Structure 1
Amino acid sequence: MADIIEHPTGIAPAVPALRPVTYADVKASFQDGIADFVRAPAFGLFFGAIYALGGLLLLACVFSLDLGYLGYPLFAGSVLIGPFVAAGLYEVSRELEAGRTPTWRGVFSTVFDQRKRELGWMAFVSIFAFIIWMYQVRLLLALFLGFASFASLQEFVRVLTTTSDGLSFLAVGHVVGAALALGLFSISVISFPLLMDRDVDVVTAMITSVQAVLLSPGPMITFGASVVALIFIGAAPAFLGLILVLPVLGHATWHLYRRATRPA
């Protein structure tokens, strides 16, 4: 592990002290995430099932409203709220790390107690970012494809892949989406577990998260890209893979947070 970044003696740090994250730390975080899932599988399967069911319900809604063309951006945007759904998994990892056996009562009690703390504001930030995500999709659709309606999802896909306007929409949409995703990842990758673990305000948590990414951009972005890739792979088999993927990612995020911050 790299050297810890120290603050001047006698001055209380505005944010928790950070230490650089390496690629080895990223790998170890995923390994520890798998280990935690194996040690307490029931919790992981429960929260993973909630995430998978939520994704299925979202897609069912858009298809029932004949808005199937929003299915892909809607699912892609749902990745943004994954860290909030995984809040219970951070508590499970914290209990296991302390040598205690996590209990349903203890985990749910800790999660529900967050309504009195700052985690709720971080959840609001994630939901707001999700709304902005969907609005930018609608805006780009209007700019590149007008307000035309599509008879079917197949027709929409044909327009996207065979017309210049459709291809331009795909290119610009992915660039804008990636920028938004990177921004939210930067302010949230450390924020959620930090708010679960320490008594800090949401602004301090976001500042800490951004500083952690800036301190180790390569490894941190690699972690974020791995998260997105695994979620898309997990969603391929009718979202069922997310039941296994989310717990590993939730536990891994906790361990990455531990490696990126100095103990309180």
Structure 2
Amino acid sequence: MSQPEDVKLGTEEWVFPVVRDVGAGAPLHWIRSGWADFRACPIPSLFYGFCFAAMGLLVTMVFEHAYAYTVALTSGFLLLGPFLAMGLYEISRRREQGATCALLPTLTVWKRNAGNIGIFAVVLGIVFLVWARASMVVFALFYTNEMPNLTGFLAQLLALDNLEFLLVYFGVGLIFATIVFAVSVISVPLMLDRNQDAISSMLTSVGALMRNPGAMIVWAFMIAGLTVIGFMTFHLGLVVLMPIVGHASWHAYRDLVVLPAAPAG
């Protein structure tokens, strides 16, 4: 196994993370480990699960009559998950170290590397705003049916009434989703666990995708599928499924990244 690359910056030694090769079936192991964390720490995990469910319900209610924004925000909900799941990462990290389950220490875990997490949030925010705007442009150019509410819009999607619109809309969405997934799949756990800077964390995340395309494609479809199931169960499924995904994302990071021991203190 290759060793981390040491780069000298002034008097400090900067260690760039190294990505490990994993099999296409690795996401199944991550989900099992996430389920184990959920069972071991159900109360703090469910707290975050209810937060996910509340946000999903709020998105659906507020944008019931603005379906174009609802679809974009639902995608954003999926892709902003790493920020909402920071507390879940901390639960898994603490359990890994043998600490007791507790909610309070996880609520302010973002302070551990607030500056870089803020930079990462700005990057994702810009991408998300461009995505939302592109979504509206696609609607204006290609959506030819009568403007319905959210329920009517989803019915039209299922009926394939506007195939050209569907191809363009989901094609554009796939491009943005791939970009955001690539830079975020392990970035936040890396920044929290090792105090890594935002740029190298995003580059490591992209490297994980490029080095393990099979596992990452499977993982992306599993995340998307579980999220859709959560929404289709009137948001109740989000209460359990999102914490499991959050815990599993921590184990994905631990499985994919090779790093030296964290400095003491």
TM range, normalised to the smaller chain?
A: 0.7 to 0.9
Structure 2 segments unaligned to the other structure (5+ residues): 261-265
What displacement does 1:251 show? 0.5
Amino acid corresponding to residue 42 of structure 2 in structure 1:
P
Amino acid corresponding to residue 221 of structure 2 in structure 1:
A
Match of 2:232 in 1: 236
Match of 2:186 in 1: 190
Separation (CA, whole Å) in 2 of partners of 1:145 and 1:174: 13
Question: Structure 1, residues 225-257: CA drift from partner, whole Å, max 9, x if none?
Answer: 110111001111111100101100000000010
Maintained 8 Å contact 2:4/2:15: no
Structure 1 segments unaligned to the other structure (5+ residues): none
Q: Cα 1:93–1:139, aligned 2, differ >3 Å: closer, same or farther?
A: same
Does residue 224 (structure 1) correspond to residue 220 (structure 2)? The answer is yes
Amino acid corresponding to residue 105 of structure 1 in structure 2:
L
Task: Give the match's secondary structure for 2:236.
Answer: coil
Q: Cα 1:57–1:215, aligned 2, differ >3 Å: closer, same or farther?
A: same
Match of 1:73 in 2: 72
Amino acid corresponding to residue 251 of structure 2 in structure 1:
H
Amino acid corresponding to residue 72 of structure 2 in structure 1:
P
Deviates more, 1:120-129 or 1:136-145: 120-129
Within a 5 Å distance, the mapping from 1:193-204 to structure 2 comes to 193-204=189-200
Q: Cα 1:151–1:88, aligned 2, differ >3 Å: closer, same or farther?
A: closer
Amino acid corresponding to residue 141 of structure 1 in structure 2:
F
Task: Give the match's secondary structure for 2:259.
Answer: coil
Match of 1:120 in 2: 118
Amino acid corresponding to residue 140 of structure 1 in structure 2:
V
More strand by share: 2
Separation (CA, whole Å) in 1 of partners of 2:216 and 2:15: 22
Match of 1:259 in 2: 255
TM-score, length-scaled by structure 2:
0.87
TM-score, length-scaled by structure 1:
0.87
Separation (CA, whole Å) in 1 of partners of 2:54 and 2:248: 22
Question: Structure 1, residues 108-151: CA drift from partner, whole Å, max 9, x if none?
Answer: 2323x1463311222222333322221111010111137x8725
Amino acid corresponding to residue 6 of structure 1 in structure 2:
Q
Give the paired residue count. Answer: 255
Does residue 106 (structure 1) correspond to residue 105 (structure 2)? The answer is yes
Amino acid corresponding to residue 52 of structure 2 in structure 1:
Y
Percent of paired sites with the same residue: 32
> What is the CA RMSD across the aligned residues, in angstroms?
2.3
